[in-house]
């Protein structure tokens, strides 16, 4: 705290990202990165971009990237907004579309960046409880609101919501924007992208960080009616005209175009997840149904904090949330390679036998 800080900064409670350990040789299953590298075509595109042209600013409108994304999703380029990671896209959406006189609604257990953005932009919110099975109950969102946002699948639970439920919500909630944060959608959850041309208040946000293995490149995007996109562009052009640098645009275009590599790696992650779920159940874990590249699991008798600490002693890092208490015994475990899964299960075998 310093006397030079503004009142806004004094009042902030920033988001705390998962640890990025500086140690080598750790099995890192804590921040939902993809265990497989990006497509070789992405690496080639990045290498080609390392050239004299870096002295020039990038395209402020990222037209090539918008074209690649709109083509992949079967939309028009003016239905696409791109940003420096989907966290930035989400931040702009909070300011441009979710800040109104009424409270923003999101689940009580969800991506913890949402309340942080509310603090930053002074947006009132109400946390809507998940049901006993950690599912989103869309009927609970049928009340006056200034906007609705949730991830599908939800985070950190991984629990997917059926597309029919999202459509039910859109049918009753026509007067505010509904943002579906689809960071993990490609690991077996139904996307709401096909509803965009029917519901002008639907904004779908996706990222290249998870399914396309590009967390280090920082590219995310929003899809929706062009009026929603225009609002995001107005905020972006009042904030940073060039959020997508030359490397990010070149790499992201190549990633969107290499559909075969993307589909193959998603399939591998899903197969590894299915085996890990069975292995953990055999070790007396309760595992929530997952449509993501991570699982949320609780042991029947052992505390989550204890298991996280003992895994760490064995050089395996998973994510553990102390709050709220309802999830304090759960571990959020990123799906790694088959080998990493085996190492995790072997370590748990040792820990649980003691």
Ligand X SMILES: *Cc1c(COP(=O)(O)O)cnc(C)c1O
**Considering the rule CB under 6 A, would residue 111 count as an interface residue with ligand X?**
yes
CB of 183 to ligand X, least distance (A): 4
Q: What is the DSSP-derived secondary structure letter of residue 153?
A: S
Stretch that binds ligand X, among 81-89, 169-177, 188-196, 328-336 (CB under 6 A): 81-89
Q: Count other C-beta atoms under 10 Å from residue 214's C-beta.
A: 25
Binding-site member from 33, 49, 135, 181 for ligand X (CB under 6 A): 181
| Kind and range of the H or E run holding 202 | strand 202-207
Nearest to ligand X of 91, 123 (CB atom): 91
Nearest to ligand X of 210, 299 (CB atom): 210
Q: Count other C-beta atoms under 10 Å from residue 67's C-beta.
A: 14
Nearest to ligand X of 58, 220 (CB atom): 220
**Considering the rule CB under 6 A, would residue 85 count as an interface residue with ligand X?**
yes
CB 96 within 8 A of CB 236: no
Q: What is the DSSP-derived secondary structure letter of residue 134?
A: S
**Considering the rule CB under 6 A, would residue 182 count as an interface residue with ligand X?**
no
CB of 147 to ligand X, least distance (A): 16
Binding positions for ligand X, 220-239, rule CB under 6 A: 220
Burial bucket for residue 342 (CB in 10 Å: 0-12, 13-18, 19+):
middle
Residues pairing with 294 in the sheet:
334
**Considering the rule CB under 6 A, would residue 195 count as an interface residue with ligand X?**
no
Nearest to ligand X of 158, 299 (CB atom): 158
Nearest to ligand X of 183, 196 (CB atom): 183
Residues near ligand X (CB under 6 A), total: 12
**Considering the rule CB under 6 A, would residue 294 count as an interface residue with ligand X?**
no
Nearest to ligand X of 333, 347 (CB atom): 333
Question: Residue written as tokens 């009616």?
Answer: 225
Stretch that binds ligand X, among 82-90, 160-168, 172-180, 255-263 (CB under 6 A): 82-90
Binding-site member from 30, 86, 293, 341 for ligand X (CB under 6 A): 86
Quote the CA–CA distance of 49 and 79 in Å, as a whole number.
Answer: 27
N-terminal to C-terminal alpha carbon distance within the chain: 45
DSSP 70-109: HHHHT--GGGEEEESSHHHHHHHHHHHHS-SSSPEEEESS
**Considering the rule CB under 6 A, would residue 87 count as an interface residue with ligand X?**
yes
**Considering the rule CB under 6 A, would residue 209 count as an interface residue with ligand X?**
yes
Strands 104-107 and 125-128: parallel
- The contact mask relative to ligand X for 120-159 (x = CB under 6 A, - = no) is -------------------------------x---x----
Quote the CA–CA distance of 16 and 84 in Å, as a whole number.
Answer: 18
Nearest to ligand X of 329, 334 (CB atom): 334
Quote the CA–CA distance of 101 and 2 in Å, as a whole number.
Answer: 32
Quote the CA–CA distance of 182 and 194 in Å, as a whole number.
Answer: 13
Question: Residue written as tokens 């193959």?
Answer: 264
Nearest to ligand X of 34, 173 (CB atom): 34
Q: What is the DSSP-derived secondary structure letter of residue 19?
A: P
Stretch that binds ligand X, among 67-75, 83-91, 167-175, 245-253 (CB under 6 A): 83-91
**Considering the rule CB under 6 A, would residue 183 count as an interface residue with ligand X?**
yes
Nearest to ligand X of 141, 150 (CB atom): 150
CB of 61 to ligand X, least distance (A): 20
Question: Residue written as tokens 């439920």?
Answer: 165
**Considering the rule CB under 6 A, would residue 321 count as an interface residue with ligand X?**
no
Nearest to ligand X of 336, 347 (CB atom): 336
Angle at 265 between CA 259 and CA 271, to 5 degrees: 135
Helix ranges (H only) for 283-332 are: 304-313
**Residues of the shown chain interacting with ligand X in the complex, contacts defined by CB under 6 A:** 85-87, 111, 151, 155, 181, 183, 207, 209, 215, 220
């Amino acid at each position: 705290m310093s006397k030079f800080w503004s009142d806004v900064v004094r009042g902030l409670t920033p988001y705390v990202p998962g640890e990025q350990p500086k140690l080598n040789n750790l099995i890192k299953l804590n921040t939902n990165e993809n265990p497989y590298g990006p497509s070789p075509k992405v690496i080639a595109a990045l290498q080609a971009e390392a050239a004299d042209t870096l002295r020039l600013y990038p395209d402020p409108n990222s037209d090539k990237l918008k074209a690649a994304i709109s083509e992949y999703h079967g939309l028009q380029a003016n239905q696409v907004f791109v940003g420096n990671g989907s966290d930035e896209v989400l931040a702009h959406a909070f300011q441009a579309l979710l800040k109104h006189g009424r409270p923003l609604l999101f689940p009580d257990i969800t991506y913890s960046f949402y309340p942080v953005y509310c603090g930053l932009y002074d947006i009132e919110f109400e946390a809507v409880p998940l049901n006993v099975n950690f599912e989103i109950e869309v009927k609970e969102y049928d009340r006056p609101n200034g906007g609705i946002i949730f991830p599908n699948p939800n985070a950190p639970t991984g629990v997917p919501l059926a597309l029919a439920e999202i459509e039910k919500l859109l049918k009753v909630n026509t007067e505010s924007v509904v943002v579906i944060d689809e960071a993990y959608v490609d690991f077996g959850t139904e996307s709401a992208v096909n509803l965009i041309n029917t519901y002008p208040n639907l904004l779908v946000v996706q990222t290249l960080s998870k399914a396309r293995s590009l967390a280090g490149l920082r590219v995310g995007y929003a899809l929706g009616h062009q009026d929603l996109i225009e609002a995001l562009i107005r905020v972006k052009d009042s904030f940073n005209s060039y959020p997508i640098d030359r490397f990010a645009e070149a790499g992201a275009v190549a990633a969107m175009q290499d559909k075969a590599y993307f589909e193959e790696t998603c399939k591998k992650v899903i197969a590894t997840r299915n085996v890990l779920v069975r292995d953990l159940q055999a070790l007396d874990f309760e595992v929530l149904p997952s449509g993501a590249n991570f699982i949320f699991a609780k042991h029947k008798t052992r505390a989550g904090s204890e298991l996280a600490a003992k895994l760490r002693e064995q050089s395996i890092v998973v994510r553990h949330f102390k709050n709220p208490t309802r999830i304090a015994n759960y571990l959020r475990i990123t799906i790694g390679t088959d080998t990493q899964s085996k190492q995790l299960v072997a370590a748990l075998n040792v820990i649980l036998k003691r």
